[in-house]
Chains A and B, each alone.
Chain A
Amino acid sequence: MMKTWQAGKRLLPMTAALGLLLAGCGREDLSVLRPQGPVAESSYGLMKLSITIMIVVLLIVFSIAAYVWIRFRRKKDQNEIPEQVEGSFKLEVLWTVIPLILVIVLAIPTVKVVFAAGNDHSDDKDAIKVKVTGHQYWWEFEYTDYGITTAQDLIIPTGKHIAFELSTKDVLHSFWVPSLAGKMDTNPDGTVNRFSFSAPNEGVYRGKCAELCGPSHGFMEFKVKSVSGEAFDKWVASMKAPESVMPEDPVLAEKFKSQCLSCHAIGSMPASPVAPSLTGIGSRESVAGILLNDDTREDGAPVLENLKTWLHDPQSVKPGNKMPNPKDKGLSDEEIDGIAEFLAGYTLD
């Protein structure tokens, strides 16, 4: 008893040091090693525990190895035959029992967290319910209690449990926000997955698709924006009561209606199953999930520029995506720029 306690005491500073070391790794809004919510925190706890155990194991193996390589290296004119040892019952039992104990030490908290993570808040009245649908290569978010649907940006209120219901319209995808929670696959109809997470702090977190889904799999990103409760309510209200916006120029409006709204939805139109909703696209974090609308950063650009990039050639942004090139739909460069300007100005509030 005394012994294990002492070993634990020795492990403690090591865990702390390791935690600090790992915490230096990666961006706060993206890295598994810098968890920003309780669910990611619990995975991270297991990771720290397991890596501490594993580093201890490695140190033991490495030191024995180094010792035997140096100590028992064959020397010049060393020719006597070493004793042919059969084995040692005691030693072999020792290195069967110790790993077994280590496994148990890791298995108990693992099982605990597995069952805790199984708690998906799907019948928690207080939770925000979001139906996530994966598409090649964009994400759709439907807030079933509010009757609103958005794409690419998942807006959530801080501190609340978000109860997800995941599925896909085409191939498998996997819904992953590393700094908030581990990933969960989206399966085709029939096997809906549920899980939940919450974000205590305001911020924008990077989300990714983690299951190979085609050429643009690597570009199937999204943003989770956690905002205060009031800001969230305001956003919901403005999503629910959108003004019926159209480009001012009637020719452009007609083109937009016939060429774009055949797949996309805006405002109060019912959500389209083939293309992301464009409601309030001017105030999103990104266009197409990857072109960042932030001109204060070197990898970002103003939303207008991003929209133009996308609309002039969607394939070059996301190879293999399912949107036809507006040019092939008979839109001139000026018309495309015009629509881009209109969309950039289409903000909520």
Chain B
Amino acid sequence: MDWITTVDHKKIAILYLWAGGLFFGIGGLEAILIRIQLIKPMNTFLDAQTFNELITMHGTTMIFLGVMPVIFALMNAVIPLQIGARDVAFPFLNSLGFWTFLFGGLLLNLSWVMGGAPDAGWTAYTPLSGKGYSATHGVDFYTIGLQIAGLGTLIGGINFLATIITMRAPGMSFMRMPMFAWATFITSAIILFAFPAVTVGLVLLTFDRILDANFFNVAGGGNPVLWQHIFWIFGHPEVYILILPAFGIISEVIPTFSRKRLFGYSSMVFATILIAFLGFMVWAHHMFTTGLGPVANALFSVSTMLIAVPTGIKIFNWLFTMWGGQVRFTTPNLFAAGFIPTFTMGGVTGVMLASAPADFQFHDTYFVVAHFHYVIVGGLVLGLFAGLHYWWPKMFGRMLSETLGKWTFWTFIIGFHLTFFVQHFLGLMGMQRRVFTYLPNQQFDTLNLVSTVGAFLMGVGMIIFLVNVFLTSRRPADAPEDPWEDGRTLEWTIPSPPPEYNFKQTPLVRGLDAFWKEKMAGHKGMTPAEPVGPIHMPSATILPFLMSVGIFIAGLGFMFSRDEFSSSIMSFLFNNYIVTALGLLITFGSMLMRSLFDDHGWHIEPEELEGR
């Protein structure tokens, strides 16, 4: 109950982590099944339809439900602490964002048991995703599930923007903000601009499918290529929503374990902003083969290549952060170290893809599969592992085992390169992506086998991580405030895990890497910016949970509103939009409650603060 009603950002972080872990596990199982099917030519382990459902759900799950919540978990756990805030700007919305995300994800995954998962690829290109070619409810689960989950992401993004703009501790100017806070800030801005596009797209596709609209239907005057534009105007920035937080994490971990400040801080900030900006200009590089014509192809080619410049700045700044430092290979730093070459490899294949005439060959092949896994897994997932191992003691008060952590790292990264490196060659040798099997004698067999073996090794790495988490959770919570000893930012100045009010007194920030600066000046902790006083706390509430349940019910009701049921009561309820209305009633009812009943929260009094 405590977990359902909480509005504490630290607990919501843990909720995001568990939910993300759950979906990540589902997506991982789907990946293993896909790789088993592709272990040899003409394999019959899965049938073609199931395979297409698996690839669709694997992609959708991993991107929207697997890695995004883990990113949000780390942001929630760390951002208020790093900027010296007691909470996020809108705790109620924070909780609402989590629950809509969770219920959206659950709705999407219900498709497995409710008559067919989406099967048109995670990009859901029309007309294949239209009613005519994808007749089960699969794609409806996709459009409505993602719509609900996306709501949560948008809410989360806005919340972080407001938090970072308004709640930084005294003295923390923007140019004194830790890089992870910067990354969160820019990421949230991208979310704010990119998610509305996909929201619109999903609404249009839902209308096409459920209300027989004609936005993408050629016979009715619609245009299927329009979907691709809408999808990628969102989809490309989405890639940066994923990778910028990883950049942020790496920029925290490397300085800490090199005992040096980040090299070229201001150019890092500048590069981040530039990447976000360019990220919005290059969506059509996913569409070179759609027939945009040479002018568009040339423009999008060149603008895409330009992204290499700010990305290069970042890589060299990280390398030169370690230069002259004292590099310690703890588990988080191992992951950060693995990140640099791996992500660089994904980056350079990106530049190769940017060359349109060459992309005519790369597009929709395993070369592309290799490229985006190098960026998303080799970049983001390694970054998340670095961040999780790094902040785990702060989140849970317990240090993860270093030995198991190192095992996780080595099995995971070796498995990763085995799986995906060979796929570059598969693509160049003529293997298209999204094929449920392949004919023998095309020289694809050995490389596919290697790839599957690698996937299992990555699976082993994941299991070791879970074992580590499990064993750690049974040990006493005795992590010190600054467990890595060289912490540089504010989160390391308070107990692990932090008390519910984070900071007894808001700290006064006197420079970049505020804590490190105080330590170097010979101080034990931060100088407070205020006297001890009562701390205002928001009340726990179940309303966000109820609102999300309502939207979930409304979504299901809308989806089945045109179906024939064997029981007439069911038909009556669904076909007259009664279920939909009921769901919306719950949601709007909860909103009304929220507006009518003022809740001013409560205070923690100074005596209580001192009493501990």
Give the docked Cα–Cα distance between A98 and B430 (Å): 33
**Interface assignment of B471: CB less than 8 Å from any CB of chain A:** no
User: In the bound complex, do residue A54 and residue B360 qualify as a contact, i.e. CB atoms below 8 Å apart?
Assistant: no
The residue from A30, A92, A95 contacting B430, defined by CB atoms under 8 A apart: A30
Known contacts A82-B259, A85-B324, A171-B133, A99 near B312 by CB under 8 Å: yes
User: In the bound complex, do residue A50 and residue B434 qualify as a contact, i.e. CB atoms below 8 Å apart?
Assistant: no
Tell me the residues in window 101-160 of chain B with beta carbons closer than 8 Å to chain A beta carbons: 120-121, 125, 127-128, 133
User: In the bound complex, do residue B432 and residue A218 qualify as a contact, i.e. CB atoms below 8 Å apart?
Assistant: yes
* Interfacial chain A residues near B48, Cβ < 8 Å: 215-216, 218, 319-320
* Interfacial chain B residues near A260, Cβ < 8 Å: none
Give the docked Cα–Cα distance between A267 and B458 (Å): 56
User: In the bound complex, do residue A46 and residue B358 qualify as a contact, i.e. CB atoms below 8 Å apart?
Assistant: yes
Q: How far is the CB of A156 from chain B (nearest CB, A)?
A: 19
* Interfacial chain A residues near B213, Cβ < 8 Å: none
Q: How far is the CB of A287 from chain B (nearest CB, A)?
A: 13
Tell me the residues in window 201-257 of chain B with beta carbons closer than 8 Å to chain A beta carbons: 218, 223-225
User: In the bound complex, do residue B441 and residue A298 qualify as a contact, i.e. CB atoms below 8 Å apart?
Assistant: yes
The residue from B52, B309, B327 contacting A100, defined by CB atoms under 8 A apart: B309
Interface residues on A, range: 35 or more
User: In the bound complex, do residue A43 and residue B436 qualify as a contact, i.e. CB atoms below 8 Å apart?
Assistant: no
User: In the bound complex, do residue B360 and residue A43 qualify as a contact, i.e. CB atoms below 8 Å apart?
Assistant: yes
Give the docked Cα–Cα distance between A193 and B322 (Å): 51
Q: How far is the CB of B213 from chain A (nearest CB, A)?
A: 17
* Interfacial chain B residues near A73, Cβ < 8 Å: 326-327, 329
User: In the bound complex, do residue A103 and residue B49 qualify as a contact, i.e. CB atoms below 8 Å apart?
Assistant: no
Known contacts A61-B341, A74-B328, A111-B302, A106 near B355 by CB under 8 Å: yes
User: In the bound complex, do residue B320 and residue A91 qualify as a contact, i.e. CB atoms below 8 Å apart?
Assistant: yes
Give the docked Cα–Cα distance between A50 and B306 (Å): 14
User: In the bound complex, do residue A47 and residue B432 qualify as a contact, i.e. CB atoms below 8 Å apart?
Assistant: no
Tell me the residues in window 411-435 of chain B with beta carbons closer than 8 Å to chain A beta carbons: 425, 427-430, 432, 434-435
Give the docked Cα–Cα distance between A58 and B121 (Å): 32
Known contacts A114-B357, A183-B363, A190-B218, A172 near B128 by CB under 8 Å: yes
The residue from A78, A212, A216 contacting B128, defined by CB atoms under 8 A apart: A212
Interface contacts (Cβ under 8 Å), in number, total: 286
Give the docked Cα–Cα distance between A323 and B384 (Å): 49
User: In the bound complex, do residue B324 and residue A82 qualify as a contact, i.e. CB atoms below 8 Å apart?
Assistant: yes
User: In the bound complex, do residue A27 and residue B429 qualify as a contact, i.e. CB atoms below 8 Å apart?
Assistant: yes
User: In the bound complex, do residue A81 and residue B259 qualify as a contact, i.e. CB atoms below 8 Å apart?
Assistant: yes
The residue from A62, A83, A136, A215 contacting B52, defined by CB atoms under 8 A apart: A215
Of B165-173, B342-350, B375-383, B399-407, the stretch lying at the interface with chain A is B342-350
User: In the bound complex, do residue A115 and residue B120 qualify as a contact, i.e. CB atoms below 8 Å apart?
Assistant: no
**Interface assignment of B301: CB less than 8 Å from any CB of chain A:** yes
Give the docked Cα–Cα distance between A246 and B364 (Å): 42
User: In the bound complex, do residue B306 and residue A31 qualify as a contact, i.e. CB atoms below 8 Å apart?
Assistant: no
By beta carbon, the residue of chain B nearest A207 is B430
* Interfacial chain B residues near A110, Cβ < 8 Å: 298, 301-302, 305, 354-358
* Interfacial chain A residues near B531, Cβ < 8 Å: none
Q: How far is the CB of A175 from chain B (nearest CB, A)?
A: 9
User: In the bound complex, do residue B428 and residue A187 qualify as a contact, i.e. CB atoms below 8 Å apart?
Assistant: no
Give the docked Cα–Cα distance between A190 and B316 (Å): 48
Of A6-14, A64-72, A236-244, A334-342, the stretch lying at the interface with chain B is A64-72
* Interfacial chain A residues near B340, Cβ < 8 Å: 61, 65
* Interfacial chain A residues near B348, Cβ < 8 Å: 54, 57-58
**Interface assignment of A290: CB less than 8 Å from any CB of chain B:** yes
User: In the bound complex, do residue B260 and residue A85 qualify as a contact, i.e. CB atoms below 8 Å apart?
Assistant: yes
Give the docked Cα–Cα distance between A210 and B361 (Å): 10
By beta carbon, the residue of chain A nearest B352 is A50
* Interfacial chain A residues near B313, Cβ < 8 Å: 92, 95-96
* Interfacial chain B residues near A32, Cβ < 8 Å: 361, 427-430
By beta carbon, the residue of chain A nearest B268 is A87
Known contacts A82-B324, A183-B360, A46 near B355 by CB under 8 Å: yes
User: In the bound complex, do residue B357 and residue A72 qualify as a contact, i.e. CB atoms below 8 Å apart?
Assistant: no
Interface residues on B, range: 35 or more
Of B18-26, B86-94, B286-294, the stretch lying at the interface with chain A is B286-294
Tell me the residues in window 1-46 of chain A with beta carbons closer than 8 Å to chain B beta carbons: 22, 25-27, 30-33, 40, 42-44, 46
**Interface assignment of B560: CB less than 8 Å from any CB of chain A:** no
* Interfacial chain B residues near A43, Cβ < 8 Å: 357-358, 360-361
* Interfacial chain B residues near A27, Cβ < 8 Å: 429-430, 442-443
**Interface assignment of A345: CB less than 8 Å from any CB of chain B:** no
The residue from A85, A98, A113 contacting B357, defined by CB atoms under 8 A apart: A113
User: In the bound complex, do residue B358 and residue A185 qualify as a contact, i.e. CB atoms below 8 Å apart?
Assistant: no
User: In the bound complex, do residue A46 and residue B357 qualify as a contact, i.e. CB atoms below 8 Å apart?
Assistant: yes
**Interface assignment of A250: CB less than 8 Å from any CB of chain B:** no
User: In the bound complex, do residue A42 and residue B324 qualify as a contact, i.e. CB atoms below 8 Å apart?
Assistant: no
User: In the bound complex, do residue A114 and residue B319 qualify as a contact, i.e. CB atoms below 8 Å apart?
Assistant: no
User: In the bound complex, do residue A184 and residue B360 qualify as a contact, i.e. CB atoms below 8 Å apart?
Assistant: yes
* Interfacial chain A residues near B258, Cβ < 8 Å: 72, 82
Mostly, the B contact residues are helix
**Interface assignment of B359: CB less than 8 Å from any CB of chain A:** yes
User: In the bound complex, do residue B344 and residue A72 qualify as a contact, i.e. CB atoms below 8 Å apart?
Assistant: no
* Interfacial chain A residues near B120, Cβ < 8 Å: 212
**Interface assignment of A214: CB less than 8 Å from any CB of chain B:** yes
* Interfacial chain B residues near A189, Cβ < 8 Å: 218
The residue from B327, B328, B361, B440 contacting A178, defined by CB atoms under 8 A apart: B361
Give the docked Cα–Cα distance between A22 and B355 (Å): 19
User: In the bound complex, do residue A26 and residue B434 qualify as a contact, i.e. CB atoms below 8 Å apart?
Assistant: no
By beta carbon, the residue of chain B nearest A70 is B327
1/0 per residue A301-314: CB within 8 Å of B? 00000000000000
* Interfacial chain B residues near A296, Cβ < 8 Å: none
User: In the bound complex, do residue B439 and residue A299 qualify as a contact, i.e. CB atoms below 8 Å apart?
Assistant: yes
User: In the bound complex, do residue B358 and residue A50 qualify as a contact, i.e. CB atoms below 8 Å apart?
Assistant: yes
User: In the bound complex, do residue B319 and residue A118 qualify as a contact, i.e. CB atoms below 8 Å apart?
Assistant: no
Give the docked Cα–Cα distance between A239 and B317 (Å): 66
User: In the bound complex, do residue B430 and residue A87 qualify as a contact, i.e. CB atoms below 8 Å apart?
Assistant: no
**Interface assignment of A51: CB less than 8 Å from any CB of chain B:** yes
By beta carbon, the residue of chain A nearest B297 is A114
User: In the bound complex, do residue A61 and residue B315 qualify as a contact, i.e. CB atoms below 8 Å apart?
Assistant: yes
The residue from A47, A115, A170, A185 contacting B290, defined by CB atoms under 8 A apart: A185
User: In the bound complex, do residue A178 and residue B430 qualify as a contact, i.e. CB atoms below 8 Å apart?
Assistant: yes
By beta carbon, the residue of chain B nearest A108 is B302
**Interface assignment of A181: CB less than 8 Å from any CB of chain B:** yes
* Interfacial chain A residues near B267, Cβ < 8 Å: 87, 92, 96
User: In the bound complex, do residue A217 and residue B434 qualify as a contact, i.e. CB atoms below 8 Å apart?
Assistant: yes
User: In the bound complex, do residue B437 and residue A218 qualify as a contact, i.e. CB atoms below 8 Å apart?
Assistant: yes
Q: How far is the CB of A95 from chain B (nearest CB, A)?
A: 4
**Interface assignment of A176: CB less than 8 Å from any CB of chain B:** yes
Most buried by A among B320, B322, B357: B357
In the assembled complex, 27 residue pairs joining A and B whose CB atoms fall closer than 8 Å, in A order, are A25-B429, A47-B352, A61-B319, A65-B341, A68-B319, A69-B327, A69-B337, A72-B324, A78-B326, A81-B259, A83-B260, A86-B264, A87-B317, A91-B264, A92-B317, A95-B316, A96-B313, A106-B305, A111-B302, A176-B432, A178-B361, A181-B360, A187-B290, A210-B364, A212-B120, A213-B128, A215-B49
The 9 A-B residue pairs with the shortest CB-CB distance, nearest first, are: A182-B360, A218-B435, A26-B429, A215-B48, A118-B294, A87-B264, A54-B348, A74-B326, A193-B291
Additional pairs, 9, CB under 8 Å, beyond known A78-B326, A218-B438: A31-B430, A43-B361, A50-B358, A51-B352, A57-B348, A82-B260, A92-B267, A114-B294, A185-B290
Write the residues of chain B forming the contact surface with A, with a CB cutoff of 8 angstroms. Answer: 47-49, 51-52, 120-121, 125, 127-128, 133, 218, 223-225, 258-261, 263-267, 289-291, 293-294, 297-298, 301-302, 305-306, 308-309, 312-313, 315-317, 319-320, 322-329, 337, 340-341, 344-345, 348-349, 351-352, 354-361, 363-365, 425, 427-430, 432, 434-443, 520
